[in-house]
Every structure is written in C-alpha cells, then in structure tokens.
C-alpha cells in the first residue's frame, strides 16, 4: 500500500509551528542538528509529516528536561544498535535455534 498518511511530507514549517508551538528557528536548528529530516519541494520549501511533528514535540520535551541535542542523538543511536542486535538474534534463533533465553 505504500507509505501511510502519517509519513507523507505535506505540511509547511508554518503549520508545524502552529501544531507544536515551536518557532521556525527552533525547527531549523533541530534540522541542522540532524534530529529531523524534512523533504524539500521543487521550490525548496520544507515539507513535514505527522511523524515529524511528533518527533519535534518529543525532541522539544527532552530539551526542556535538560537534554542536549547530542545526548538525544546518542541515545537514539544506542537504541537503534540494540534493536538491530535484537533483530539479528531473532533471525539467528529462527534459523538455527540460537540465543534461547
């Protein structure tokens, strides 16, 4: 079926500002720090999805709690590595009966 409505990049930065309460400057900063990845239209306008909006809210909440952008990226990188390891273990277990708990 393709990507769902939540992943479609259709909102402009102005709409995202209204939905999140963040300023354009904050959103651009999170993009610069590679915490958000909007698409660009032919006219170079940023386009965001509902998933991006949720991500921005989560990032802003962590920043308010005292996290740095570096800490946010590091935590997510570690989680991604753990998920990848769990996936590989699951595949090995399914194929060879390894890593039983």
Query: pLDDT tens for residues 31-40?
Result: 999 999 999 9
CATH entry, 1-67, from 1.10.1660.10, 3.40.718.10, 1.10.3720.10, 3.40.50.920: 1.10.1660.10
Is residue 38 within 8 A of residue 9, CB to CB? The reply is yes
CA distance linking residue 60 with residue 33, whole number of Å: 13
Closest residue by Cα to residue 36 from 12, 59, 6: 59
Q: Which CB contacts under 8 angstroms, 24+ apart, belong to 18-26?
A: 19/53, 20/53, 20/56, 20/57, 20/60, 21/60, 22/56, 22/60, 26/60
Give the DSSP H or E segment for 61.
Answer: helix 50-64
pLDDT one-digit tens code per residue, 46-82: 999 999 999 999 999 999 999 999 999 988 888 777 7
CA distance linking residue 60 with residue 16, whole number of Å: 13
Q: Determine the pLDDT at residue 83.
A: 75
CA distance linking residue 17 with residue 25, whole number of Å: 10
Domain map (residue ranges) of the chain: 1-67, 68-101
Q: Is the per-residue pLDDT at 2 higher than 60?
A: no
> If DSSP codes are grouped into helix, strand and coil, which group holds residue 21?
coil
**pLDDT-derived band at 99, boundaries 50, 70, 90:** low
> Average pLDDT in the 9-15 region?
95
């Amino acid at each position: 079926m393709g990507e769902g409505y939540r992943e479609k990049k259709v909102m402009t930065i102005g709409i995202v500002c209204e939905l999140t309460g963040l300023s354009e400057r904050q959103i651009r900063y999170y993009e610069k720090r590679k915490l958000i990845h909007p698409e660009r239209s032919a006219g170079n306008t940023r386009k965001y999805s509902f998933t991006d909006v949720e991500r921005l809210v989560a990032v802003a909440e962590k920043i308010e709690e005292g996290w740095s952008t570096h800490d946010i990226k590091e935590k997510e990188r570690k989680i991604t590595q753990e998920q990848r390891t769990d996936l590989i273990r699951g595949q090995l277990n399914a194929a060879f009966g390894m890593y039983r708990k």
